Structures are given as structure tokens and as C-alpha cells.
């Protein structure tokens, strides 16, 4: 164990409930959201006034296969990390065997586990990771690095056919900001730190990394780097590949470090080879990241457009303008409808007045020919900087929105967006209680293809729902603007018939969406990694030969297939 440094014990490391998202005592509530019940009834066919949710999963009722970790290996691992930091308990093994995709949630609740990880080991230092990796190679173990386990790509799940012992390396004890270079604006950070703990350590010294993916509360820096994560503020702060400037990775033959120095003209980028490698080239132990002074002023302003095409024109014009917002987001008609249905009933006088004002505004918009129930699109733009800059940029954006047929709603709805942003994953667990899947698919699209991708995905999804004769609700937003295009982020909800057919029903819808991305030149995922879930499309995405090159790199660096085998490309 590393000396002289107090680290959290394995059991203190933040973790999800074994069967769902996040903490045990947090769940989605609809009793304070009056518009949610009718929406659930009309769009996905649940009548919340009648239907009763299924019982909460109970691990005691499931059969959990025993660990296959040989006693000798157990002893060697414990000698490295200490007995307290090697956990073989059922609940931990079950939790660490799944991410948080819909198929994962189905499988983890259903039991009948084909293959679970055999042990969870919590290293406390890079040196310990090196020792564990050495043991894994000597003993022919499979090693799966694990950050927050929030992935929806299957990246942390062992291959069901794996016959060797599987050990998950939970990085959560390595949770420190080691050093901030205040001159360069670069921080050295251990890879196991969770989003909130990272930002707390940075913000208490006046800095922020500015990376806020939806999974923020249950994901880690190393996980973001290993899966090429994007945060909602990427317009300003960049995707994780822009933020992580240097890293250290424990490779089967030692430690590789990439320098956090601008201008890396040192041949093909090793750095970009490790980013997105999902543990197949080694274990990321540390990242050097760009940090920024917390902006003095921050405002989220909401806008409304009459329809998607006007909205996209506005978003593109903002991306092309001299303004540099922190984020830009456009919900399409269905997502706008959903957002409005998620608004809590006002309780204060001020809230009631605001609701009245909104009703009046929508009535006015209808009088102007807007379709306020299905077509209009809400948009949020976040501004950060000095007061003067924020005011100037707001004024420019206001004009752009107006020129593209939209109106400015103001800071009130924007503030609501900013508060609830990390809560959406809890909704999925709630829906599953009523046999409804809610999940997401995202892709990158160029500005010239974005409307076509948007509309054909809807067509494909609804065609699939008609084929199976079941309802389905889909909505979408555009976010993460770049020079050449943006991310389209689709959310869908479909009821399913039974636990037995659940996965088949799920993939029927999801695969149709993914295939549509491919057919329109888009990427297999904008920021949700490949893992096993997106692997069927990897050859279409990066060409067959490109996949062969990546496969060759994994084979050469990990010939024994000990490092998270089967992820990204098989084998």
C-alpha cells in the first residue's frame, strides 16, 4: 500500500445501488408534475392512475454464482491492496458486472447471471495498479478497469463466455487532485475521482474543469478519458479529449506518459490512442487536465423557435458567430413537450404568476400561427465571463434568434434547466417499474446533414414501432456545437411485453436507430463509447480495415487478452 496517505476505504467509494442509477434513497417523483401523467398515458401507454409499479428488486431472491478467484490469487491481490480493498461480496460483484444501459438494468435485475466478475479490487496508487497488472498477466486473469460504472456501452461487463477469473479494478480510491499548476492552468488528477469530488477540490481553489456529462455524479475522470466522454459545456470547455492534455497509463509492459505540453509533434498520437481505449491498452492512472478560473458571471437563457428547422438555423448561426457560449442546446418539438410536462406545479405566488405569464405567451404564439403543442422548440444557451461579455453575447444571440424566427424567454426557464440537469437517469428506473424502457442514442452529424439525420431517425423508429404494433415515444435535442456539425441526442421510451422478451424488444428499436446513423454517414456514437453495444457498427464507422488496425494494436499490446477483452472490436 502507498505510505503516509490516507485514502478512502473501498466501501466508502461512491457507488450506485446494485440494480439501478445512483443512490438508494433518490427516485423520480411525478406527484408534483401535473402534466406528466397525461403525457405518460398518451405517448407510452402507462396509466399512472391505475398501474402499479413492480416491486423493488431484491438481491436475496436471486442466485449469485460464487467467485471463481483461486485462493492463492486472492491472497496475492490482498497483499497488494490490503484485505479491506479486495471485495468479493455478492452485491459488489453484481454491481461491478454491469454498466447502466437498459440491457444492463434488465440483466442485473433478472438474475440468472451467466458471468459475474470474481472480485473487485481497489488500488490506492499507480504502483499498486502495476503490481495488480503483473499478477493478472502471470495468473492469466482478466482485468476490467472501472470508473463510475455509468456506461451504457457494455464496457465494464465481462464476456459471458470468459472462463478465466475476472477481476474488476475499481479506481475510486484514487480520488485526488495532486497538483494545480496555476500559471499554466493545468491540474494533475488521479483517474479515479468522481465528478463532484473533482469539482469540489478544484472549486475550493477557484478553478473548474468545466466537464459536466449527464452522468457527472456517478462517473470518473479516468472513465471519461477511457470512453471519450463529452460534457454538456463542451462548446466552451471542449470534449474530454480536448481537456485531458496528458495522461499516465499502466500498460502491460510499464507506464506510458504523454506530456501535457501544447504541440505534440512526436509521430502518431499515443495520447489519442489511449483516449477511448476502454481499458484495452492499460489502466489510466492519472490525467493532466486543463482547468479554468470559475467565471464571475454565468447565465442560462431560454429561447423558443416555432419549429426544428428554424431552431437549427439559429443554432448554426450562433456557432458561426463571434459569440462563444458555454453550451447551446435545442430541444425538438417532442422534447420540448416532454420538458414542459416535467415542470413542477408552481407552489409560490411568484411561480404561479410565471405559469400564468407562460400560458399567456403560448396563447399569443398560437395566435401568430405557432404550433405550441408539438412543433415549437425550446433552446438554452449558457453565457459565462465578465458581466460585460455576458451582456454583449446575450444581445448578439437575441438578435440571431430573432432573425431566425425565434423569441427570447429569458433567464427564468434557463435557471430551471441548470438545476435539474443530473436527475434524468433516475427516470429510467421509475419507468422500468412500469415495464417501459427509456434510453438514449447519440451521434455526430454535419450541419448539412443534421436535419436529414434527425427526420430519418424518427421515421425509422416509428416505422419499427408500427411493425411491432406498439407505441413508442421519441424526442431529441441538438447540443455540443462544433465548426462542422453537432451532436444529435435521441431519447426514446417504449413499453415492453415481458421480462423474457425485453431485450429483443429493446434491440428491435435501438438497432434501427443506430443503423440509421450509419446509413447517413454519421458516427456510431458521439460520446457514449463503443464497448459491446455499439460494436456491430464499428466496421461501418471506421471501415473494416480501420477496425482490423485497431484489433491488431490490441493484440500486439495485450497478446494474452487480459485487458478488458472483447470491447470496441472483437476478440
Q: Which stretch binds a copy of itself (CB under 8 A): 18-26, 248-256, 357-365, 369-377?
A: 248-256
Identify any residues that bridge with 494 across adjacent strands, giving them in sequence order: 437
Q: How far apart are CA 372 and CA 57, in angstroms?
A: 40
Q: Using the rule CB under 8 A, is 265 a contact of a copy of itself?
A: yes
Q: How far apart are CA 438 and CA 432, in angstroms?
A: 8
Q: Is 81 helix (H, G, I), strand (E, B) or coil?
A: helix
Q: Using the rule CB under 8 A, is 526 a contact of a copy of itself?
A: yes
- The one among 3, 25, 49, 322 contacting a copy of itself by CB under 8 A: 322
- The one among 278, 286, 337, 558 contacting a copy of itself by CB under 8 A: 278
- The one among 124, 165, 276, 325 contacting a copy of itself by CB under 8 A: 276
**CB distance 480 to 234 below 8 Å:** yes
- The one among 203, 266, 373, 501 contacting a copy of itself by CB under 8 A: 266
For residue 210, cis peptide bond before it (omega within 30 degrees of 0):
no
Q: Using the rule CB under 8 A, is 298 a contact of a copy of itself?
A: no
Residues carrying an active site annotation: 489
In the complex, the smallest distance separating the C-beta of residue 239 from a copy of itself, rounded to whole angstroms, is: 7
Residue partners of 553: CB distance under 8 A and separation at least 6 = 273, 281
Interacting positions 155-194 with a copy of itself (CB under 8 A): 181, 183-186
Of 4 and 262, the one with the shorter C-beta distance to a copy of itself is 262
* Length, in residues, of the chain: 571
Of 245 and 428, the one with the shorter C-beta distance to a copy of itself is 245
- The one among 23, 358, 408, 446 contacting a copy of itself by CB under 8 A: 446
Q: How far apart are CA 23 and CA 553, in angstroms?
A: 38
Q: How far apart are CA 322 and CA 336, in angstroms?
A: 27
Say if strands 485-495 and 436-446 run parallel, antiparallel, or are unpaired. antiparallel
Helices (H) and strands (E) in the chain, counts: 20, 18
Interacting positions 494-523 with a copy of itself (CB under 8 A): 521-523
Q: How far apart are CA 329 and CA 418, in angstroms?
A: 12
Q: Using the rule CB under 8 A, is 93 a contact of a copy of itself?
A: no
Q: Using the rule CB under 8 A, is 333 a contact of a copy of itself?
A: no
Of 75 and 254, the one with the shorter C-beta distance to a copy of itself is 254
Q: Using the rule CB under 8 A, is 571 a contact of a copy of itself?
A: no
In the complex, the smallest distance separating the C-beta of residue 550 from a copy of itself, rounded to whole angstroms, is: 6
Q: Is 177 helix (H, G, I), strand (E, B) or coil?
A: strand
Encoded one letter per residue, x for contact with a copy of itself by CB under 8 A and - for no contact, window 23-62 reads ----------------------------------------
Q: How far apart are CA 188 and CA 180, in angstroms?
A: 6
Q: Using the rule CB under 8 A, is 456 a contact of a copy of itself?
A: no
In the complex, the smallest distance separating the C-beta of residue 150 from a copy of itself, rounded to whole angstroms, is: 15
Q: Using the rule CB under 8 A, is 133 a contact of a copy of itself?
A: no
**CB distance 291 to 243 below 8 Å:** no
The Cα angle at residue 157 between residues 152 and 158, in degrees rounded to 5: 160
The Cα angle at residue 529 between residues 552 and 437, in degrees rounded to 5: 135
Total interface residues for a copy of itself by CB under 8 A? 87
Interacting positions 366-395 with a copy of itself (CB under 8 A): 385-386, 389
Of 17 and 392, the one with the shorter C-beta distance to a copy of itself is 392
Q: How far apart are CA 475 and CA 332, in angstroms?
A: 7
Q: Using the rule CB under 8 A, is 569 a contact of a copy of itself?
A: yes
Encoded one letter per residue, x for contact with a copy of itself by CB under 8 A and - for no contact, window 469-498 reads -----------x-xxxxxx-----------
Q: Using the rule CB under 8 A, is 318 a contact of a copy of itself?
A: no
Sheet of strand 297-305, all strands in order from the earlier edge strand to the far edge: 407-410, 297-305, 377-385, 327-331, 473-481, 485-495, 436-446
User: Residue 420 is placed in which grid cell?
Assistant: 435539474
Amino acid at each position: 500500500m502507498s505510505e503516509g496517505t490516507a485514502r478512502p476505504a473501498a466501501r466508502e467509494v461512491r457507488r450506485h445501488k446494485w440494480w439501478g442509477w445512483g443512490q438508494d434513497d433518490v427516485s423520480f417523483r411525478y406527484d408534483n408534475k401535473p402534466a406528466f401523467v397525461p403525457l405518460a398515458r398518451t405517448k407510452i401507454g402507462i396509466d399512472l392512475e391505475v398501474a402499479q409499479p413492480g416491486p423493488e428488486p431484491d438481491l436475496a431472491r436471486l442466485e449469485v454464482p460464487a467467485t471463481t478467484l483461486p485462493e492463492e490469487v486472492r491472497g496475492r491481490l490482498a497483499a497488494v491492496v490490503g484485505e479491506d480493498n479486495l471485495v468479493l461480496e455478492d452485491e459488489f460483484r453484481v454491481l461491478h458486472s454491469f454498466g447502466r444501459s437498459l440491457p444492463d438494468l434488465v440483466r442485473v435485475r433478472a438474475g440468472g447471471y451467466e458471468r459475474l466478475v470474481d472480485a473487485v479490487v481497489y488500488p490506492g496508487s499507480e504502483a499498486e495498479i502495476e503490481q495488480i497488472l503483473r499478477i493478472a498477466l502471470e495468473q492469466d486473469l482478466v482485468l476490467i478497469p472501472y470508473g463510475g460504472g455509468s456506461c451504457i456501452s457494455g464496457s465494464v461487463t465481462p464476456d459471458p463466455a470468459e472462463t478465466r477469473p475476472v477481476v474488476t479494478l475499481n479506481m475510486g480510491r484514487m480520488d485526488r487532485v495532486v497538483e494545480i499548476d496555476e500559471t499554466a492552468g493545468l491540474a494533475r488528477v488521479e483517474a479515479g475521482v468522481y465528478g463532484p469530488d473533482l469539482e469540489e477540490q478544484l472549486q475550493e481553489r477557484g478553478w473548474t474543469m468545466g466537464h459536466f456529462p449527464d452522468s457527472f455524479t456517478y462517473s470518473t475522470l479516468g472513465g471519461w478519458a477511457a470512453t471519450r466522454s463529452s460534457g454538456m459545456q463542451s462548446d466552451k470547455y471542449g470534449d474530454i479529449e480536448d481537456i485531458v492534455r496528458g495522461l499516465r497509463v499502466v500498460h502491460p509492459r510499464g507506464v506510458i506518459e504523454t506530456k501535457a505540453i501544447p504541440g505534440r509533434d512526436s509521430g502518431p498520437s499515443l495520447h489519442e490512442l489511449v483516449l477511448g481505449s476502454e481499458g484495452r491498452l492499460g489502466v489510466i492512472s492519472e490525467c493532466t487536465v486543463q482547468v479554468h478560473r470559475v467565471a464571475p458571471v454565468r447565465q442560462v437563457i431560454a429561447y423558443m423557435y416555432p419549429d426544428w428547422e428554424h431552431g437549427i438555423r439559429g443554432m448554426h448561426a450562433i456557432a458561426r458567430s463571434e459569440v462563444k457560449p458555454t453550451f447551446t442546446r435545442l430541444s425538438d418539438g417532442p422534447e420540448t413537450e416532454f420538458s414542459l410536462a416535467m415542470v413542477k406545479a408552481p407552489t409560490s405566488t411568484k411561480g404561479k404568476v410565471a405559469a400564468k405569464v407562460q400560458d399567456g405567451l403560448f396563447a399569443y404564439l398560437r395566435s401568430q400561427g405557432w404550433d405550441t403543442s408539438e412543433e415549437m422548440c425550446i433552446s438554452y444557451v449558457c453565457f459565462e465571463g465578465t458581466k460585460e461579455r455576458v451582456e454583449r453575447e446575450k444581445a448578439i444571440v437575441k438578435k440571431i434568434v430573432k432573425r431566425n424566427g425565434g423569441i427570447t424567454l429569458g433567464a427564468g426557464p434557463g435557471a430551471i434547466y441548470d438545476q435539474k440537469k443530473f436527475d434524468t437517469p433516475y427516470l429510467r428506473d421509475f419507468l422500468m417499474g412500469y415495464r417501459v424502457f427509456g434510453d438514449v442514442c447519440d451521434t455526430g452529424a454535419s450541419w448539412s446533414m443534421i436535419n436529414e439525420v434527425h427526420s430519418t431517425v424518427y421515421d425509422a423508429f416509428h416505422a419499427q414501432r408500427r411493425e411491432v404494433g406498439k407505441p413508442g415515444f421519441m424526442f431529441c435535442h441538438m447540443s455540443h456545437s462544433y465548426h462542422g456539425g453537432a451532436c444529435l441526442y435521441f431519447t426514446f421510451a417504449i413499453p415492453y411485453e415481458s421480462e423474457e422478451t425485453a431485450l429483443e424488444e429493446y434491440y428491435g428499436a435501438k438497432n434501427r436507430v443506430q443503423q440509421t446513423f450509419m446509413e447517413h454517414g454519421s458516427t456510431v456514437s458521439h460520446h457514449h463509447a463503443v464497448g459491446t453495444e455499439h460494436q456491430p457498427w464499428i466496421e461501418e464507422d471506421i471501415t473494416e480495415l480501420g477496425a482490423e488496425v485497431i484489433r491488431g494494436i490490441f493484440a500486439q499490446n495485450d497478446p494474452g487478452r487480459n485487458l478488458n477483452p472483447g470491447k470496441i472490436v472483437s476478440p
